[in-house]
Amino acid sequence: AGLRAHDAGAALALLTSTWSTERAEDRLMFLDSLRAGLSDADEPFLEQALSDRSRNVRSTAAELLSALPHSALAGRMAARAASCVAMDRSGGTEATIVVEAPHECDADMQRDGIVPTPPSGRGERSWWLGQLVEAAPLSVWTDRLGGRSVREIVALPVSDGWADELHAAWCRAAVRQHDADWSRALLGTPAAPPSTGPGTTSPAERSKLLAALPDDERAAWVAEFIAAHGLSEAFQLLGVCTVPWAAPLGRAVVDALDIARDAGSYPWSFSGVMGLAERCLSPEEADRLEVLTATPDEQEDASPGAGGYWSEAFQRLVSTLRLRAAMHEELSTT
């Protein structure tokens, strides 16, 4: 890995020279190291690895090749995926995507990394379709779907109940290809209810899409999400934001915690977010949080003793932020 970081070509040459003598688990480990600095120069080696005797090695090689949009494998996947997804040409008034999932998983598809046997409870054709779309370069869809923009494509209706499958595969492709435009479109508007979003409703999948966005945009999206929906589904989203949190995100978290306190619930329902806040909030927020350390008057419908528990939680948060500020100042002067 160290050589790869300093001289990718030399690392690849070394790997090639010893490849045939390595154990399967070592081949997999070395192959995985190519993720750092992956480039078109790695394609010939990865293409050969598609014929490796280890299934895990073959699968990883296919995954890496699909992340190279100009690779031969990406081209093959694009052709296969495009044959399954198209615009409806039946003459209806509304532009609609139609899907015809693969009817078989042939040997060539399997060599290119398509797993033929689906997980329990999953249909074969939908399983194959998802893998094809995930591995195809996202750039193929603009031309394939009438020259539309990414946002327009994501907003199109999909016939016969294939929308969730198609959008989920596009989400995985956007993550794999680190595509900010597609990630942005699939995330949708942060203020919209998660269940109505164009892509996935899973916080874990949303966090992966967010990771493809620039730092400031990612923080702003999460801040708007928290302002609209609170903290109940925000923990994983916060985990992918740059530390220390940008000022708008920090304010959104503090405001949401204040709202939760006023609602009368116990603070340990938000212990995960509190723990993140201790590590990720800017220490400059300590003064703003000071007012929340006082024990509020207990409301009739509040959980018994909740106000006192919130006061203790905010006191701990303020103390941690001030300790971080003091440590930073001390380290800056030494």
| Residue 162 sits in the same domain as residue 191 | yes
Q: Could you give the angle at which helices 163-176 and 124-135 cross, rounded to 10 degrees?
A: 30
| Residue 218 sits in the same domain as residue 334 | yes
Cβ-contact 140, 101 below 8 angstroms: no
290-to-70, 245, 285, 321, 322 alpha-carbon distances in Å: 55, 19, 9, 11, 11
Position 298 scores a pLDDT of 72
Q: For 68, left (φ over 0), alpha (ψ -120 to 50), or beta?
A: beta
The helix or strand, by DSSP H or E, that contains position 128, with its residue range, turns out to be helix 124-135
Q: Do the domain assignments include residue 73?
A: no
266-273 long-range CB contacts below 8 Å, 24 or more apart?
Answer: 266/303, 266/306, 266/309, 267/306, 267/309, 267/310, 267/312, 267/313, 268/309, 270/231, 272/235, 273/231, 273/234, 273/235, 273/238
Query: Average of pLDDT values for 244-256?
Result: 95
Structural domain including 11 reads 1-68
Position 1 scores a pLDDT of 59
Q: What is the tally of structural domains in the chain?
A: 3
Q: Do the domain assignments include residue 87?
A: yes
| Residue 226 sits in the same domain as residue 293 | yes
- The per-residue pLDDT for range 266-277, each reduced to its tens digit, is 888 899 999 999
Position 264 scores a pLDDT of 84
Q: Do the domain assignments include residue 252?
A: yes
Q: Do the domain assignments include residue 209?
A: no
- Binned at pLDDT 50, 70 and 90, residue 162 comes out as very high
| Residue 104 sits in the same domain as residue 62 | no
Position 4 scores a pLDDT of 79
138-to-27, 66, 154, 205, 275 alpha-carbon distances in Å: 29, 10, 12, 18, 37
d(CA 318, CA 246): 18
Quick check: bond before 157 cis, omega within 30?
no
Q: Do the domain assignments include residue 191?
A: yes
The domain boundary residue, chosen from 18, 37, 68: 68
Q: Do the domain assignments include residue 322?
A: yes
The domain boundary residue, chosen from 44, 68, 92: 68
Cβ-based neighbour number of residue 74 at 10 Å: 22
| Residue 110 sits in the same domain as residue 155 | yes
| Residue 220 sits in the same domain as residue 331 | yes
- The per-residue pLDDT for range 141-160, each reduced to its tens digit, is 999 999 999 999 999 999 99
pLDDT at position 260 over 80? yes
| Residue 87 sits in the same domain as residue 196 | yes
Q: Do the domain assignments include residue 74?
A: no
d(CA 224, CA 272): 19
pLDDT at position 284 over 80? yes
Query: Average of pLDDT values for 296-314?
Result: 82
d(CA 290, CA 298): 19
Position 10 scores a pLDDT of 87
Give the residue, 90 or 115, on which the prediction is more confident.
Answer: 115
pTM reported for the whole predicted model: 0.87
| Residue 271 sits in the same domain as residue 229 | yes
pLDDT at position 295 over 90? no
Position 73 scores a pLDDT of 97
- The per-residue pLDDT for range 177-230, each reduced to its tens digit, is 999 999 999 999 999 877 777 777 788 899 999 999 999 999 999 999 999 999
The domain boundary residue, chosen from 39, 68, 97: 68
Cβ-contact 170, 215 below 8 angstroms: no
Q: Do the domain assignments include residue 242?
A: yes
d(CA 178, CA 212): 5
d(CA 127, CA 169): 10
| Residue 181 sits in the same domain as residue 236 | no
